[in-house]
Every structure is written in C-alpha cells, then in structure tokens.
Amino acid sequence: MTPSRLLPILLLSASALHAQTPPSGSASGPTPMPASAPPSAATPVGQAATPAKLGIGPTEAYDISRLPDDAYGRLARYGKELTDRTFAHIGPEVRNPKMRFAGNNLACASCHEASGTKKFAIPWVGAHATFPQYRGREDTVSTLEDRVNGCMERSMAGKPLPLDSLEMKAFVTYMHFLSRDIPVGSKVEGQGLPPFTPPNRRADTTAGSQVYQAKCVACHGPNGAGVRAGAPGSATGYAIPPLWGKDAFNHGAGMNRMLTAAAFIKANMPLGTTYAQPQLTDEEAYDVAAFVLSHERPLKAHTERDFPARWNKPVDAAFPPYVDGASADQHRFGPYPPLQERMKQLKDTLMKGTAVK
C-alpha cells in the first residue's frame, strides 16, 4: 500500500475515533480521575471506605508536558518517548549494538495504544498500583519491572532490560505518573482487555481471512507485514505495525493467545474502534484472530517453562505441554469452552501435584 492511499484511511479512522469518544463526564463514559485530590482524602479516618469507582481519564488527563523539567519529569517523559518510539531507542536497528534490546521494530504503543492510556487497550493507568502481583506464567510474585521484561522478551521478541538501566527506570516512572491518584491495590475500570466469550466452535480461518480482506488488509497489508515508517535499517519503526512474520510479536507473547487477540481486536481494531462501539462481532473477531495467529512468527525459546504450576495454564496458551489430553490444535484454535470446563475439573488434582504430564 502506498502512503497516499494510507492517509485517507488514517484520517477517516482518526475522525471516527473522535466521533465515538463520549464527552468526558457523560453518563456512559469513564469516570475521569480528579487530577489533584486523591480519592482517599474523601474518606474520613476510621470509616470504612466505599470502594471508589476508578476510571481512566481522557488522554489530556495524562499530559506529561505539565510535569516540571526536573529529574522525575525528565525520566517520565523519556518513558513516554520509549513507549511511542521503542524502535528508535532500544530496537534492533539502533546504532549502538549494546542498546538493541527489542528484537522487533514494534513500539509498546503498537498494543498499549495512546501511549498506554486507552481504555481496554491494556492501558498502564493504575498498573503501578497493581504490582507486585502473583503471575501464573512465572508462578511467582512479579514486580512491575519483571512485567515490563515479560513484554520485552515476548511482545518485543527481545531481551530483558537490566533492572538498573535508565530505560527500565523510565518505563516504571512513566507508569507511576499514569497511576498517580490510584491507591495501591485498586482496580481501574478499563484495565487490561474486556472479557471475551468465545463461540463454542473451532475458529474458522477461512472466514477470518474474509474479515481480514474486508477490514484489515488496507492497513496491515496482504502479508501482515504492516507499513514501515522509513527505510528498513533506519530504526524508524512502523506507520502500521506487522501482525505476523519475522518482525512481529513472538509465539510466547500474550497477543499470540486466541482469547487475548480476539478481545484486543474486537475492542480496538480496525484502528479507531473503541470498546463501547466495536466494529466486529464476537464471531468475526474470533475468526480474524485465528487467521492472524495461523501465520508464522518468531519462536520464543523455552515456552515449556511457562506456567510451571500447570493448573493455571490458560487454555489458549498454544504450546506444549498440554495437561488436559486435548489436541494441540484445540488449544490453538478452540473450541475453548470444553477446555475451560476440563481445566476446572483438573484443577484440584493438578494443584496437589499429582501431575498429568
């Protein structure tokens, strides 16, 4: 696709996005966080707190230019820059070989849209308040830094950032900035991805291909390779990110799981879509996710070490070992409800360690 054909699409979807965003403060919209008063201030000491409904504010609420030009402000701003232009600082094409941590030319914001502030596009608003947390993939308590490195090794198909690096500190500082006023331990409406109920059938990649041709190919291209922003090798990333192939997220990434990809796609794609006004049905999102994930992508080493406590391995984690006796194909493409049912039954046995291998 040529840039001149791309532009109208982008403009169109930008205006669609604009039209779909409910005015802040509307009844259906998110409850924007007050920028100044922390919610806890409203609770008199000694009284049980009514759980406040915390929401994600409009993008303007996270305007980082309002921060002073001090050490914290500079680091938070570098974190946002790293989020939007990951490829330019820690991507595989940067000049200094020692800075090549990401293995692909995506940006964190390719998935964590609007610099990590879009509702139901796995936003980071409040993320700082939910870590450390138990994570099944590692079967241990992970810090926010561990979680950043989870995406570095999988979504970005690369290497972990050193914990004491400027880049790691910048990411965490930016997430701290996005999470200001969110009390530790609270849940924020719009965090993660919306729940997705899969149709009780195997996904149909042929139907998915038709959805792709109708609603995705104009941007992501016939080979899922996206559109580069500049010449390959220039560390300038993508105008439209790739969905599969050698520069995409690897097979151990969260986005390589059917239920995660379908939920993300339904709530956020085609570009400009919001959770409140999806443009695909559940069936279409499910099938197009299968079509996208049916293609080759970089392989993550040692995925058999993921989810060492096998009872909490998600049914759509499509790599061995499989503990439920179902086929690899069923884990990859469904139907999932029978697998979810079977995992419920197996949970107690597996937790006691009388492991099915």
Q: Which residues bind ligand HEC (CB under 6 A)?
A: 9-10, 13, 86, 106, 108, 110-113, 122, 124, 127, 130, 147-148, 151-152, 155-156, 171, 191-192, 215-216, 218-220, 240-243, 249, 253-255, 260, 264-265, 269-271, 280, 288, 292
* Cα separations in angstroms, 300 against 85, 92, 168, 251, 252: 23, 16, 22, 6, 5
Q: Is 43 left (phi over 0), alpha (psi -120 to 50) or beta?
A: beta
Q: Which is nearer to ligand HEC, 14 or 41 (CB)?
A: 14
Q: Which is nearer to ligand HEC, 86 or 330 (CB)?
A: 86
Angle at 125 between CA 165 and CA 43, to 5 degrees: 120
Q: Which is nearer to ligand HEC, 151 or 343 (CB)?
A: 151
Q: Is 344 left (phi over 0), alpha (psi -120 to 50) or beta?
A: alpha
Q: Give the HSE-up count for residue 281: Cα atoms under 13 Å, Cβ half-sphere.
A: 7
CB of 276: closest distance to ligand HEC in angstroms?
Answer: 17
CB of 308: closest distance to ligand HEC in angstroms?
Answer: 17
Q: Which is nearer to ligand HEC, 16 or 48 (CB)?
A: 16
Q: Which is nearer to ligand HEC, 129 or 350 (CB)?
A: 129
CB count within 10 Å of CB 178 equals 26
* CA pair distance 111, 108, nearest whole angstrom: 6
* CA pair distance 189, 182, nearest whole angstrom: 12
Q: Which is nearer to ligand HEC, 39 or 237 (CB)?
A: 237
Any alpha helices (H) in 193-247, and if so which ranges?
205-215, 217-220
Q: Which is nearer to ligand HEC, 288 or 323 (CB)?
A: 288
User: Strand pairing partners for 228?
Assistant: 238
Tokens of 80: 């946002």
CB of 33: closest distance to ligand HEC in angstroms?
Answer: 16
CB of 181: closest distance to ligand HEC in angstroms?
Answer: 16
**DSSP H/E element including 140:** strand 140-142
CB of 295: closest distance to ligand HEC in angstroms?
Answer: 11
* CA pair distance 245, 256, nearest whole angstrom: 13
CA-wise closest residue to 263 among 192, 196, 210: 196
Q: Which is nearer to ligand HEC, 156 or 323 (CB)?
A: 156
CB of 46: closest distance to ligand HEC in angstroms?
Answer: 32
* CA pair distance 187, 126, nearest whole angstrom: 7
CB of 45: closest distance to ligand HEC in angstroms?
Answer: 30
CB of 70: closest distance to ligand HEC in angstroms?
Answer: 23
Answer for the pair 198, 285: CB distance below 8 angstroms, yes or no.
Answer: no
Amino acid present at 91: G
Q: Which is nearer to ligand HEC, 257 or 310 (CB)?
A: 257
CB of 344: closest distance to ligand HEC in angstroms?
Answer: 19
Amino acid present at 149: N
